[in-house]
Chain A
Amino acid sequence: MKHQDSPQLAGFLANQFPLIAFAVGTAGLALSAISYLVNPERFFFSYLTAFMFFLTITLGALFFVTIQNLVRSGWSVVVRRIPEQMISNFGLMALFFIPILFGLHTLYEWTHPAVVAGDHLLITKSGYLNLKFFLIRVVFYFSVWILLARTYFTRSTTQDQTGDPTLTLKNQTTSTYGILLFAITITFSAVDWVMSLTPHWFSTMFGVYIFAGSTVASLAAISLLAMILRKAGYLANTIRIDHYHDLGKLLYGFNIFWSYIAFSQYFLIWYANIPEETFWFTDHFRGSWNSVGILLAVGHFGIPFLLFMSRHVKRNLVTHAMMAVWFLFIHFVDLYWIIMPNVSKAGVTFAWVDITALLGIGGIYIGVLFTRMKKYPLFPVKDPRLSDSMHFENV
């Protein structure tokens, strides 16, 4: 079979672009470090938000790779390398978690024995919310993610050389238990790192809520990365409009799923009106946070639901790119709204560390991503279903 597209990344995207990203990242991290000296509390919350933003995108990519392997998907083969590259950044995300370890006492009130001793609820929860078990879980989550990611990535890139079809089947087998591990780890990491910021509050839906946001953001990121490569002249005949159309449909569908989950969680708590649950929403609707909540309802559901319904929007790459950027933005707003009211209680306050932390983690993340991209083909060149994927037509 003949491929018209070069699978080898070269030129600006391979050489200069990662350097620029690294430079932005380093500058961002340095500025954030300065802000730590000014206001450590604010720094940790902003940093956690930025960390969660990139972590959820990476987790969503892990879900994408797992589910596509699990259902023996044909159409997505040409796209798959991009999320495979993204999940290889889990090791990097583990490094980025280290600063959070230093901020545990700032972020999580249940880490203070004195606070716990005076709080009946926290005493009850201390079997789960205690430092030792928390750290064990951190190690567990990252080991699972790194191992799963490495397994998929190694097999897939080995196949680029050997063309061995059994590797596809092996990845399929891994994905069966992989999806279980994924479900457990994303749920409990969401509970640990985000929900326990407000340790009195609880919602059985919370893991699903974070999961829904992750898939939306990661699909947007995958589309966007593919379009960046396309702009530079790669994959133009490999990832065709039909594939973008499918990515767009998934993005649209998962965004409705997010809306459904977000609405249900809010609605059930609003309707039952039990103080032990409603206080979370009261806190998150206080002052100008209310406007952020409205922005989420309109911007995460209303506007995208209407604007991105048409197939033309998904098939036109300009509008598709706008849609992807918008979803990444609104996903950040979502995380911001979940996390930041814990530190800025009266209403939204802006601090430049919100931006620098995002740029810091993001710059390094993208730099590492593109550095790795040039070492491996841009799409699985010898995947047994590659031909399926290249010839697929979308109605």
Chain B
Amino acid sequence: MSEYLHPDTVIERAPLVLNGHGFEKITDMVCGPVERKAPKWWQIAFLGAASGALLLVSMLGYLIWDGIGVWGLNNRVDWGFDIVNFVFWVGIGHAGTLISAILFLFRQKWRMAINRFAEAMTIFAVICAAIFPLMHTGRQWMDFYLFPIPNQMSMWPNFRSPLLWDVFAVSTYFTVSLLFWYVGLIPDLATIRDRAVSKSKQFFYGIFALGWRGANRHWQHYEKGYLLLAAISTPLVLSVHSIVSFDFAVAQLPGWHTTIFPPYFVAGAIFSGFAMVVTLMVISREVFGMKDLMTIHHLECMNKIILATGTMVGYAYGMEFFMAWYSGSEYEAFAFINRAIGPYAWAYWSMISCNVIFPQLFWFRKIRTSIPAMFVISIFVNIGMWFERFVITVISLHRTFLPSTWAYYSPSWVEICTLIGSFGLFLTLFLLFLKFLPMIAVAEVKAIMPEADPHYGEAH
């Protein structure tokens, strides 16, 4: 069945694995890239990404050596690229957890083909995110004060500060995502161990496979554990971006303080994360020949979620604007008018067009299923969501209650290079993942194939 029957036009559900591959073939397809030598394009891409990561390292080195002054922050705008990038990267990560946990609880079987991929993205995005707050403290060697560690000065962190909640939220998020990802990987690592020809591979993958044998008693606890991890990751993913939103929303600053921030940030995070997954998936399925496992149907489902979350974000923008007027508070109203027509209007309108207008094209099935169109739109969404954080952080800060303090913030070259470098680090880690780990959860995909149903082949 090579022809793509659009699922919206038929009652039947779209097949999740195309061309009727058997279990063994699926194993071959997924493990292939791990077992073969790295292709030329991978080596070139890796060099590019690694030099980006190197740029990041040198920028951070320069920052530590010289101090925060190398950034473009000023007295009025004391949160700039550092916080914008932090929120942006944490948001990117949310798609992974959404796919691995929430879609799992909703029995969305199509998620099986993309969850490994998206979870990897989560972990790398959170690593990129964590760099920024750790660096923006100024004296980075004192960062351990962020954690409640007993010390000779008997000092303890202030638990009523939202910034401390971030420390707990982000580190918990990273740890739990890593555990979830690793648990999912165990059976697949065992697959690679069992197929490995070289002793070193056998040993290396064998260590991490923990001696997995696929025993039914193991599967029983494993499945339960996976379900439980999904159940506890779901509120976790909501909490992380909610807590990030608290950083802003507990303040009294117009444009920051509004009650809809927590769910609005979560929707935005999922929105941007899904866009990033689509961007990366469109490329990976092409170069690794995974089109039968990551089908157009998968991508379309993703695009529908982008449309839905994009519309939720639009709803939140609308509510903010409406309430800014309805509140009758002139400071509130000014903050929003300043966004739309102030000196940073260009950022605001980039955000609106990328986040609210372009994704609406996904209402059309033709665009939802067109690879070039979704690639372009997903990149727009990434840009738009970066600007959203810029709008919230910088535009709200640059003109507050006291007009004599108003200032304009532009990033220095160090900040721009740090942002570029963070993409380098992200891609480096991602390329390493593509090369050394199975990018599709083999065991999970097999379990949702019709042949895996214990009643397969029986008449109803």
Contacts and interface: CB of A to CB of B under 8 A. Distances in A.
- Are A and B in contact, CB atoms below 8 Å, in the complex? yes
B250 interface: yes
Interface in A107-130: 120-121, 124-125, 128
Contacts of A124: 328
B57 to A, nearest CB: 37
B263 interface: yes
Contact of A204 (B7, B105, B234, B259): B259
B259 A268 contact: yes
Contact of B263 (A125, A183, A200, A205): A205
Contacts of A249: 105
B326 interface: yes
A260 interface: yes
Contacts of B242: 260, 264
Among A120, A125, A180, A205, max chain B CB count under 10 A is at A205
Interface residues of A, number: 43
Interface residues of B, number: 36
A160 B9 CA distance: 20
Nearest to A74: B13
Nearest to B223: A395
A202 B327 contact: yes
A124 B327 CA distance: 9
A385 B11 CA distance: 8
B84 to A, nearest CB: 21
B24 interface: no
Contacts, number: 86
Interface in B78-111: 105, 107
A183 B267 CA distance: 15
A267 B315 CA distance: 22
Given A205-B260, A265-B259, A272-B251, A169 B323 contact: no
Interface in A229-287: 249, 253, 256, 260-261, 264-265, 267-269, 271-272, 274, 276
Contacts of B327: 202, 276
B257 A169 contact: no
Contacts of B261: 264, 268
A169 B13 CA distance: 13
A121 B259 contact: no
A123 to B, nearest CB: 9
A165 B329 contact: no
Contacts of B299: none
A268 B257 contact: yes
A323 to B, nearest CB: 18
Interface string A91-118: 0000000000000000000000000000
Given A207-B319, A272-B251, A274-B252, A169 B259 contact: no
A206 B315 CA distance: 13
Contacts of B249: 268, 272
A222 B319 CA distance: 30
B246 interface: yes
Contacts of B7: 72
Interface string A158-170: 0000000100110
A187 interface: yes
Contact of A260 (B8, B107, B238, B252): B238
Given A125-B328, A169-B9, A276-B327, A204 B260 contact: yes
A125 B327 CA distance: 8
A203 B259 contact: yes
A261 B267 CA distance: 14
B250 A204 contact: no
Given A124-B328, A274-B257, 10 more contacts: A75-B107, A169-B11, A204-B320, A208-B263, A264-B263, A267-B246, A268-B246, A272-B250, A272-B257, A385-B11
15 contacts: A125-B328, A176-B363, A204-B259, A204-B260, A204-B320, A205-B263, A260-B238, A260-B242, A260-B262, A265-B259, A272-B250, A272-B257, A274-B252, A276-B329, A385-B11
